Structure 1
């Protein structure tokens, strides 16, 4: 959530930056300032009225003690009027604060200066790529056919149990999935991230805290009777563990990792690009989250990008890194790098990670602050990234490591799997 005083000081700059998202934010930002002016005016009048009422109350007591009953009763009538005024002003203030909050909740984050303008994924910038794309033998198969051939994943059984987008992993497919989760967690812990096991359901405040609500309300599974939401990513519960906290400088940075299943209702289209593991309603992901001092957050973002690169290097998967354009940037992000693995069998790139800096956007919603070197309470910067999302990593492994004899297991995963070939 943007800060009102920053909008006031940098309105034109924000309008220009938000235009990278294809948004003309002038009207919305001016409305924010207008409502905030009403809020500030109401607050000033309310403070003045309460102060006057308190002053009269003290005078009434003194007048009664002095035997000046008529003067005391006259002042009492004034205090009654002031109380009615205070009540009306408090209601006006509450309405202004509520309207201001709603306005701010619906304005996305301001893109970082390095974010390119653009409307969709076609305008994203490739910043790097590594690994040679393997040459597969004739007759190579996409992962959904490999999963069926080697009895690794049963998509039809998932439909029977739940519905489309909820696969069942079997045998070596389940073991490979578990191996990837453990490997990702181990890599993160080795890099200094503290592992957490977190709830898979969150309350509404947590959804608002990290920005999934109200922006992605239709994409989240809602448990109506309990007013809870199934998490779309571990970012939500992990970051919300620190909601409302005031941190000391020596506590920063905070680095967390966690594995969770992720649940997303987002409707998908039909076709090969969403077949198999390409798009699911439930999938597994290992997440990394950082809470940083503002001056350190972009160096931290670079380190997160390098961390994901190192994992993909060990897996020996061909990948590229994209800087998202304004039109493809998530609602809460100031800057995002997407990682994509090349699926040789599908002849296309598959997104497998997003690494983002939210600057103070989430922290302002979370009321997450730290005491800076001047003793002032300041907002932190929050960051998160997938390290990694499993479905498309698994798809990339199945497709890129297939041979006429079977599917080789990346060398780094063999100790975790207990086997080196699926045949």
Structure 2
């Protein structure tokens, strides 16, 4: 390709790009379009790296094997994806998550993607951009309308990527301009300020003793978002396959939300490994307990449960939910555990969840994981099958939570299931 006169600023002297995606998503074709030559074969079985000069830039593209469903993806694919990351040392400028516009992106696709991302043992969202392939198959549909039609899973994924995306078509006549747009977006992403948002929020919101409960709740939500933003940063200069945590290890606060008789208090006791919260008695106000768990400082907050049958005071429930973030230690990483028992789940349950979580604002969904209680009721079946059987109401909730969920048996004193839960919380 020739250098375009309206091309990139000289501040970006080279690019390292990592391609990730499911099988037959168009990864290899996208890599060929970026390098403007047939660098990659269509059936990728091993991660490979190719270089080229594009618009005057030195560009390295790493292609990786595509995944299948979580249960059918061979282990060697996961191993090769991790190997592909090592080709990007000291780190990729952009991770291009390739999604074909000719297929849907729902709960199953999210689960398959999340399973592979966990293998990388590091947070990747700060440097990820969605690359929509087969853009010519949209017909007269705009990419914005396509995204709206796809629903919650894709929209939540885009939010995780800070709404960064680029469309590429299969027509070579259009690819040069699309690659230029892609590079310009990557440059803006690389140059974006990386200051933790919590610093900005503290400068904007003065704290005082007479702060209102609602104001304090807003502060805690913004502080939580800033902390999670800071925890998920991934500096390209220090990246590696097993870089794991960044070294910043905040306290963990888990806020239990759910309907009455959902097993909230039992779940809290299971996590803390003691009878902190009374079971079988209606919880009327929020309360907190603390424990050191596997080297982690963990606070658990129990809240009043709502009722589908008028057995709980709605105002009391809202007040308890609003108060809950203020019971967490200052600076702790707050995660909401939406407790859902493994039993019936219908549209009325979904509406109740939406109504009661709305008091915390839309941002609460970014920091929420579903905790399925009474896992013993699965009786040897899988939670994925349970989710499928419960249909659209439960899938709606899971999509809003970014498909983060965990199953526990509150009757068992099993440290391993608690450690698994905390590990998932740390990776959110």
TM-score (norm 1): 0.24
Higher helix share: 1
TM-score (norm 2): 0.24
